[in-house]
Amino acid sequence: MTAPTRDAAAGPDAPVALPDEEFAGLRRTLGGLEKYAFVALAGGFTLYHLIVLNLFPQEALLFRATHVAWGAVLGFAFYRPFARSQAGRVPWYDWVLIALAVLCCAYMYWEVEGLQFRAGAFPDPLDVWAGVIGTIVVVEFARRTAGLALPIIVGVFILYAFVGPWMPGVLYHRGFDWPRVFAYLYSDLGIFGTTTEASSNFIVLFVAFGAFLQVSKVGDYFNDLSLSAFGHLRGGPAKATVASGVLFGAISGSSVANVVASGAITIPMMRRVGYDRATAGAVEATSSTGGQITPPVLGAGAFLMAEITGIPYAEIAYAAIIPCVLFYIACYAHVELHARLHGLSGLPRSELPALAGLLRKAYLFAPLIVMVWLLVSGYSAFRAGTLAILSAIVVSWLDRQNAVGPQRTLEALNMAARDSLQLVAVCAAAGIIVGIIALTGIGGRFAQLLLQLAGSNVLFAMIFTMVVALILGMGMPTTAAYAIGAAVLAPGLQRLGVAPLVAHMFIFYYAVVSSITPPVALASFAAAAIARADPWKTTFVSMKMGLAVFIVPFMFFYSTLLLGQGTVWQIAPVLATASIGVVLLACATEGWFGRPIGWALRLPLGAAALCLIVPESISDAVGLAAAIAIFAVARAYPGFAVPARAR
């Protein structure tokens, strides 16, 4: 892996140039006719989805097969197999893979009725070979765009389909021959199942929405607005980063992509006002990770959740509001307290974008408002996404400099396709895992194992689920981690009586937060590279800042009020006390409660914070009383305080 590099002529705090292979796969820069041909294919990929979803519906299996095959063609063109392979053109072996992807899709068109009738149970020889080749294509597509972790897990599951008769205990099954396995996988029970249904119906569309917002410079507007509103405050650049994470996260579904897109700007600004390298990187990593739990888009995993559970997407987005609010309150509290502890200032107003001028462009929020309103009004997600794209184009015309015309439309279509490739590959590969789980029945047996391990203690089952979801998410995109967790873990939780929304949201949140969880914390490592900070220190600071999101899922497990399941009068006090709780938790972890405090007060303050986060009136009263007492002690007995110079 290529090491991060820095321009020698730049200042000491200049951002590091990140190699593509670390965070965006092994990307190619094509030239000549290949460049124009594949750019046209990329734009056509996005346009195809917009047309099929809105104007001319296609048979579902053929649509998904085309979706995966077209994505694979672009993936093999735009991504190299290895760092040292040809970067300027498509070599012969990638043309072979492209041809195989097209042939597998063509076979699907030719034999679609027979494939649907046989459903992988009574395969023809050609079904089997299409399955073998199609599986290889999907696994290699995923390896290039998402790294080795997911293909390795896919390989383990495929191997498990064959070695079941020799497995012990709950892992035993009668085994299957290879024709049955691969024919089963290359059907709507495997690769073209629920996960690919989500990526074909929703993910490309909403990635396209984000691309149109970016080419119209709405992303830049969000960053400028955040900086203008918060940049002059104590530790202002960090607060602007948190605010930008909320706004930019609404249009981007990847924490690492958010870090790379905004970190090159925000991290040097934080360094300028005095944030140390690790903290600057951690603020960016944590805020960007929170973007995946920010409504209305919520990252690609939310679309998958809607498909798996049958819960309307609007309901899932609504349920995420309170946990998202608590997460960003905690982030803001951490940067404020850190600034107080270290005496940090903000940037001069003269160096910030003029707020009045930015407020005159508030119409740029219209696309987000349109999408939210349509979802709440009951429109389908793809119809809401399409109309939001059209509104983004229309509002861009109000600013001639950033108006989206034919050229920028083509740029957005191309950008959307490129940004979708990893998600297409991940969903298709996750379909293999889901297919093996269904074929072998391991999902049901794993649910029984979870029941046996938990016994009558549901809390133990939730802790076990948290650990497994975090492990699955290490080194894998959130979508894949959630898809596997939903297939393996969610059925067991539901058998324990956990509501489907709670079970799936619980798994989803830990799949998201794995981006800042060691030992493989992709978002934290990306931010550390930009900040030139120690990756491990950055990761642990990120975990400290994101501590609330590790705790809140357990709280909405105990009370669905934190998922907005109740009346306004029931939800409001729970939100208020939980907000106070996450602020006090930040005070305890940072060591500031009106003044610097030592561990003698930090530990009980942390316990009081947890009492307030728990959505129960008695625990709220205990936590509030304890917090008041601790504050009084800190003020009355300065000996408990830790001098700032000693920190």
Percentages (nearest 5) of helix, strand, coil residues in the chain: 75, 0, 25
State the Cα angle at 170 between 131 and 435, rounded to 5°.
20
Confidence of residue 19 (pLDDT cuts 50, 70, 90): very low
The Cβ of residue 83 has, within 10 Å, a number of other Cβ atoms equal to: 12
Q: Which pLDDT does position 249 carry in this prediction?
A: 61
Looking at residues 82-96, what average pLDDT do you find?
87
543, pLDDT greater than 50: yes
**Rounded CA separation 395/387 (Å):** 12
221, pLDDT greater than 90: no
- Of the candidates 242, 208, 205, 207, which has an alpha carbon nearest to the alpha carbon of residue 223? 242
Q: Which pLDDT does position 550 carry in this prediction?
A: 87
pLDDT digits (tens, 9 = 90+) for 392-435: 999 999 888 888 999 999 999 999 999 899 889 988 998 999 89
Which residues is 79 bridged to in the sheet?
27
Q: Which pLDDT does position 36 carry in this prediction?
A: 93
Which spans in 147-217 are helix H?
Answer: 149-163, 178-185, 194-198, 204-215
Which has more confidence, 478 or 207? 207
Q: Which pLDDT does position 35 carry in this prediction?
A: 92
**Rounded CA separation 579/138 (Å):** 44
Distance of CA 513 to the CA centre of its chain: 9
**Rounded CA separation 270/235 (Å):** 8
- Which range, 83-87, 197-201, 408-412, 472-476, has the best average confidence (pLDDT)? 408-412
Cβ within 8 Å of residue 260, ≥6 positions away: 18, 23, 24, 526, 530
Confidence of residue 10 (pLDDT cuts 50, 70, 90): very low
| Residue 187 half-sphere exposure toward CB, CA atoms < 13 A | 27
SS3 6: coil
> Among the listed ranges 5-9, 310-314, 462-466, 487-491, which one has the minimum average pLDDT value?
5-9
Percentage of the chain modeled with pLDDT above 70: 91
Q: Evaluate whether 646 touches 595 at the Cβ level (below 8 Å).
A: no
Cβ within 8 Å of residue 179, ≥6 positions away: 123, 125, 128
SS3 592: strand
State the Cα angle at 262 between 261 and 268, rounded to 5°.
130
- The two three-digit tokens of residue 229, written as one number: 């509103």
- The two three-digit tokens of residue 242, written as one number: 């948190």
Confidence of residue 140 (pLDDT cuts 50, 70, 90): very high
84, exposed or middle or buried, with CB in 10 Å at 0-12, 13-18, 19+? Answer: exposed
Crossing angle for the helix pair 547-558 and 500-513, to the nearest 10 degrees: 170
Backbone dihedral angles phi then psi of residue 177, each to the nearest 5 degrees = -80, 160
The single-letter DSSP state of residue 87 is S
Measured CA distances, 200 to 61, 182, 423, 514, 561 (Å):
11, 22, 10, 25, 33
640, pLDDT greater than 70: no
Crossing angle for the helix pair 442-454 and 458-473, to the nearest 10 degrees: 130
Q: Evaluate whether 507 touches 469 at the Cβ level (below 8 Å).
A: yes
576, pLDDT greater than 90: yes
**Rounded CA separation 434/310 (Å):** 17
Which has more confidence, 585 or 351? 585
DSSP 225-274: HHHHHHTTSTTHHHHHHHHHHHHHHTT---HHHHHHHHHHHHHHHHHHTT
603, exposed or middle or buried, with CB in 10 Å at 0-12, 13-18, 19+? Answer: exposed
Q: How many residues does the chain have?
A: 647
Mean pLDDT of the chain: 85
581, pLDDT greater than 90: yes
Q: Which pLDDT does position 1 carry in this prediction?
A: 35
Looking at residues 618-626, what average pLDDT do you find?
93
**Rounded CA separation 210/219 (Å):** 9
Name the amino acid, one letter, at 422: Q
Confidence of residue 266 (pLDDT cuts 50, 70, 90): confident
**Rounded CA separation 508/293 (Å):** 9
Q: Evaluate whether 77 touches 88 at the Cβ level (below 8 Å).
A: no
SS3 476: coil
> Among the listed ranges 70-74, 308-312, 535-539, 636-640, which one has the minimum average pLDDT value?
636-640
pLDDT digits (tens, 9 = 90+) for 107-118: 999 988 888 887
25, pLDDT greater than 70: no
101, pLDDT greater than 60: yes
- Which range, 105-114, 162-171, 374-383, 550-559, has the best average confidence (pLDDT)? 105-114
Q: Is the pTM of this model over 0.85?
A: no
